[in-house]
Amino acid sequence: MVKPLSPKQAAERLAQGGVEIIDVRDVHEWADGHLPYARLVPLAEFRQNPRAALSQDGVIFVCAAGVRSETAARLAAQHGFKEVYNLTGGTRAWQRAGLPIERDAAVTAA
């Protein structure tokens, strides 16, 4: 089951540790800003082999608005992952909540 998280809830969950953040947007979107400590796995790549893209249970999926990340989260749940979260509103909501965004050119890929 996919659990939705607001930006505030996601920030609190990240502070507790034990989860990773997977950004399923495209590379050019990533370069415009992403959540700290996120790992880029574009949705098309994730769809090819969800198990290979996930290093652990306990994943928060993020995209720009929450639609692609919901798709990825559902795929992860279908592949047996139990602790699966979707960031409601995506990076846009994260920024509106005043939470930090990183803007570096480096891509931390799967």
Q: For 45-71, how does the pLDDT look when each residue is reduced to its tens digit (9 = 90+)?
A: 999 999 999 988 999 999 999 999 999
pLDDT digits (tens, 9 = 90+) for 23-50: 999 999 999 999 999 999 999 999 999 9
What's the rounded Cα separation, in Å, for the pair 27 and 83?
A: 26
Helices (H) and strands (E) in the chain, counts: 6, 5
What letter would DSSP give residue 79?
A: T
Closest-CA residue to 76 (of 103, 50, 45, 41) = 50
Catalytic center residues: 63
Helix (H, G, I), strand (E, B) or coil at 39: strand
The superfamily (CATH) of domain 2-96 is Rhodanese-like domain (3.40.250.10)
Q: Are 10 and 92 in contact (CB under 8 A)?
A: no
Cα 26–60–2 angle (5° rounding)?
110
